[in-house]
Chains A and B, each alone.
Chain A
Amino acid sequence: DAGVTQSPTHLIKTRGQQVTLRCSPKSGHDTVSWYQQALGQGPQFIFQYYEEEERQRGNFPDRFSGHQFPNYSSELNVNALLLGDSALYLCASSFFGETYEQYFGPGTRLTVT
Chain B
Amino acid sequence: QKEVEQDPGPLSVPEGAIVSLNCTYSNSAFQYFMWYRQYSRKGPELLMYTYSSGNKEDGRFTAQVDKSSKYISLFIRDSQPSDSATYLCATSYNFNKFYFGSGTKLNVKP
A residues in contact (CB < 8 Å) with B? 4, 33, 35, 40-45, 48, 55-56, 58, 90, 92, 97-107
Contacts and interface: CB of A to CB of B under 8 A. Distances in A.
Contacts of A98: 95
A90 B97 contact: no
Contacts of B43: 4, 90, 92, 104-107
Interface in B46-61: 46, 49, 51
Given A100-B32, A100-B34, A106 B42 contact: yes
A-B pairs with the 4 shortest C-beta distances?
A42-B100, A104-B43, A56-B96, A100-B32
A-side binding surface: helix, strand, loop or mixed?
Answer: loop
B95 A100 contact: yes
B14 interface: no
A20 to B, nearest CB: 19
Contacts of B72: none
Contact of B97 (A40, A41, A56, A106): A56
Given A35-B100, A42-B90, A45-B97, 11 more contacts: A33-B98, A40-B102, A42-B102, A42-B103, A43-B44, A45-B98, A48-B96, A98-B95, A101-B49, A104-B44, A105-B43
Contacts of B45: 104
Interface of B: 4, 6, 8, 32, 34, 36, 41-46, 49, 51, 88, 90, 92, 94-103
Contacts of A33: 98
Contacts of A102: 46, 98
A97 B95 contact: yes
A39 to B, nearest CB: 11
16 contacts: A41-B102, A42-B4, A42-B6, A44-B100, A45-B99, A48-B96, A55-B96, A56-B94, A90-B44, A99-B92, A100-B32, A100-B49, A100-B51, A104-B45, A105-B43, A106-B43
